[in-house]
Structure 1
Amino acid sequence: MKKNVRDFTKGNPVKELLLFSWPIALTLILQNLYNLADVMIIGRFVGDTAMGAVGSAGAVSGVLLMVVSGMTTGVSVVLSQHLGAKDYERVKKCLTSSIYIIVFVAVILTITGIAASGWILEMMHVEGEVLTMAKDYLTIIFAGTIATAFYNAGNSVSRAMGDSVTPMIVLIVTAVINITLNILFVAQFHMGTRGVAYATVIATIISAMVCWVILWHKFTIIHPDRKNLSPDGKAVRQIIKIGVPATLQSSTMTIGALVLQTFVNSFTTAALPVMAAYAAATKIEQMVSYPPGGVSDGMQVFAGQNVGAKKFDRVGKGLSACMKIMLLYSIFAVLVLVFGGGALMGLFTSTETTVNVGQQYLTATAAGIFFCGVDYTLRYTLTGVGDVAASASLSFFELFLRIGAAYVLAYYTPLGYVGIFWATPIAWTVTTVLGVIRYKSGKWKLKSLTGGQEVHRDIEGE
């Protein structure tokens, strides 16, 4: 494989995955802290109204991130499979084609976002001054969509090449720039929600440029020839084939969170602050559960390269390595959530009832934390090998099961709001079993984008 490109088709799977995954895990944690900083600064220097506006706007701009993330996942999977097949000509064609797709999607999202953001906010019952602030924020954010798209694409291409360190460094640069500009625009220039939006867009533009400059200098393999400057029909179809289901898959997390939040709100009273406890506990859950996400992301690239090279046995070895990593991490996570949950909740509130409710949520999460890691790793593996329809189906099944279980346990059993907390680990466990069944069937071997018909006989003989 070309110089500087990490070759996952050889070497020790555990070592390769750990070396590749730890920067991704750190990047996910930094991303969470980065998002918290925006809300904290606007709340500290402007007030609760502005903070509510940014929070409401974030739910709308999240749609942007889902679409962009889905399409860049398509780019990553296609590139990693052709890299594994050592088909560097296809790599160039896919990268050039992806740029056309990214620009097209960004333009559509920009126009749609600016035109429809006000209507969407009103549908969410956002009114008055909050509505004005949120619309100002979203207009600026959607105007910077192309920067967001190229930033995410650059990160996806880096990881497809086996480089997980560059996205981490770029995110650190982004966070520093964004926080500095936030303080400057909000605290010094008193620009309110517009200041937060401008800071985000400017930081994203700079980071996108830095990311692509590094990519261009580090990986000469992606430099297009004259014959690769126009979009390639096959590459476009492959990226869309992976990207569209990946977009739908990522949307299930947002939908599930919104529905469960609605259930939680219905149990909240002055004497029972379930909403506040849920908000704090989910932030703790995200911080604790994010590190295994680095392994899941890493496995997607690992699986993509190896299925492209037709080394199906190494996909299994990589998955086995992930299970061991997940098990070891889960032991640590359970201890933190069960025995340290109360102390962590105390960082958010001093109200005893809120701490106790939050501890109940964290205990339920701890019960399913291993299955959470395995569930997502299986889905990312299936996406990496090209079996994205199965991965998306598992995501939608988990969504319906989580919502259904939460509704039944909360409203038709004595558990009440605690039933909402236990619905998610139940869904993780069941979906894990289904994911294992799909993987064991071997049908994913036929989904390779570099050709898979030759494995029909192998599957029939298994």
Structure 2
Amino acid sequence: MTKGKPLPVILQFTIPLVIGNIFQQLYNMADTIIVGRCVGAGALAAVGSTGTIMFLATGFAQGITAGFSILTAQRYGAGDEKGVKRSVANGMILAVIAAVILTLVCVAIMNPLLHLMNTPSDIFQDAYTYIMGISVGLTANIFYNLFSSYLRAVGNSQIPLFFLIFSACLNVGLDLLFIIRGGMGVAGAAWATNLSQAISAVLCAGYIWVKVPSLKPEREHWKIHGSDTRNQLAAGIPMAFQFAITASGTMIMQSAINLFGSVAVAAYTAAAKLQSLVIQGMIAMGQTMATYGGQNYGCGDVKRIKAGVKAALLAEFVYSVTVALLMCALLRPCLGLFFTGDVDISAMMPWAETYCYMTAMFFLPLCTIFIFRNIMQGCGYGFLPMMGGVSELIARLIVSMAAMKLLSYPLACFADPAAWIAAAVFTGVSYLFVIKKIGRELKEKTT
């Protein structure tokens, strides 16, 4: 990613990520759709009520593993072959430690957390069953994300896509097997996700071992290296906390949504799934910019970093307007996918429309967050992006608390746009500061 015109290079790398992210969302949606149609609207609301908690756990895993791979991308851009292998081994050891800690913490806090979030009593047990299943399987999620991040760090976004598509198809098959044939209910959806991710992680690791020798550590690399650990934790922990901070804000927002009952929760869940699907292009662009920033920072090309950011912003502005219109147009037919014919869709539409229409108007600031945040993280600056997450949290907290106080569903839905606006302003200003600092640092190195 250090050669060629930035826009074509960025788009070529991003498109497989978009497809992969969409497939990942589709197999998350498959859980929801199959549960909603085969178990019932209450079960769908139960799964949906845990969505923000699931985002907290899996987002933390995704953030920390992405952070571990930034050092790999930087060393790959600098042509340091031994350093690349050493960073891979060190990151895998750290990932094992992170998996154990994260699993134990999630299992311990889930019951009180669901109570704290005002989870309706009629869906509480199903919600607890589902999220505990996801928590137990976090190791599979961590290692799939880690191996995928390593491949993307060296410019390979196609192979993670292949394994993700395979995993998505497998997840749907296992959902049908466990939920319909096995009668496992929401637990079946959780274990279908865990098993499909575990198989995908094993296949991804096997591909690296056989086909990507540049990422295959030697025997002497398999130990904790102090400098690598400091660098990887310095990148990984802020990225993980970035997800955790964002998830904490969405959990507060979910607590406000939960006050309006299981029908509102079910409608909001379906609408939020559709929104998550259409914004995957923004997320993929962010993933691309982390790798782009890491490689170009590694080779000391600040002008190319700036050019890449401008190209990414242009592409994302066009994308944001397009998907906002698409989401609003597809809301009613998509809502019908989640429920059987005995559910009154017309009763759910007002709840779903309020959320979709309100958030669609603010996709432009949302898309800038992913670009600015990830380019800074890719260059090794993790603190300011994390503080951008704090600004999101504060905005969501203020609006959600006001919504709970006033019992206003539209105000609860506005918590997302408020957070996006706050983070967009903060990360945009932070990027201008960081890029100037990088320019000065690289100039000093060459003089």
TM-score, length basis structure 1: 0.84
Per-residue CA deviation, residues 100-149 of structure 1 (Å, 9 max, x unaligned), is 11111222233444455455556557799966666665565444433222
Kept in 1: contact 2:117–2:255 (CA 8 A): no
- 1:54-453 equivalence runs, <5 A: 54-55=47-48, 60-118=53-111, 120-121=113-114, 141-266=134-259, 268=260, 275-337=265-327, 341=331, 351-352=345-346, 354-405=348-399, 407=401, 416-442=408-434, 445-446=437-438, 453=441
What amino acid maps onto 2:310 in structure 1? Answer: S
Q: Following TM superposition, by how much is the alpha carbon of 1:353 offset from its aligned partner in structure 2, in angstroms?
A: 6.3
CA deviations 1:164-217 (Å, max 9, x no partner) are 111111111112222222222332233344433433332222111111111223
Alignment-mate amino acid for residue 84 of structure 2: V
Q: Where does structure 1 lack aligned partners over 5 or more consecutive residues?
A: 1-7
More deviation, 344-353/179-188 = 344-353
Pick closer, same or farther for the CA change 1:196–1:279 going to 2, 3 Å. Answer: closer
Q: CA deviation at 1:291?
A: 1.7
* Residue pair 2:67, 2:235 contacting (<8 A) in 1 also: yes
Quote the offset at 1:156 in angstroms. Answer: 1.0
Structure with higher Rg: it is 1
Cα distance between partner residues in 2 of 1:427 and 1:435? 12
> Deviations for 1:370-414, whole angstroms, at most 9, x for unmatched residues?
1110122111111111111000001111221233245558868xx
Contact residue 267 and residue 352 of structure 2 kept, 8 A: yes
Percent identity of equivalent pairs: 29
Shift of the 231–410 alpha-carbon distance from structure 1 to 2, 3 Å rule, reads closer
Instruction: Give the drift of 1:315.
Output: 0.7
Query: CA separation in 1, counterparts of 2:45 and 2:264?
Result: 19
Paired residue type of 1:375: I
Q: Provide the TM-score with structure 2 as the length reference.
A: 0.86
Cα deviations across residues 256-298 of structure 1 (Å, max 9, x unaligned)?
22222333444x489xx75554333322322222222211211
Match of 1:3 in 2: none
TM-fit CA distance, 1:445 = 4.3
TM-superposed deviation, 1:326 = 1.1
Q: CA deviation at 1:361?
A: 3.2
Distance 1:287 1:87, change over 3 A: same
Give 3-state SS (helix, strand or coil) of 1:21's partner.
helix
Residues 1:20 and 2:24 aligned together:
no
- From the superposition, tell whether residues 206 and 261 of structure 1 become closer, same or farther in structure 2 (CA, over 3 Å): closer
Q: Which amino acid aligns with 1:220?
A: P
Q: Say whether the 8 Å CA contact 1:155–1:211 is kept in structure 2.
A: yes
Alpha carbons of 1:75 and 1:44: their partners in 2 closer, same or farther (altered >3 Å)?
same
Q: 2: distance between equivalents of 1:189 and 1:125?
A: 31
| Partner SS, residue 190 of structure 1 | coil
CA contact (8 A) 1:410 1:418 kept: no
Aligned residues: 442
Q: 2:91–2:232: 8 Å Cα contact kept in structure 1?
A: yes
Q: CA deviation at 1:94?
A: 0.5
> 3-state SS of the aligned residue for 2:4?
coil
Distance 1:111 1:194 in 2: 19
CA contact (8 A) 1:42 1:192 kept: yes
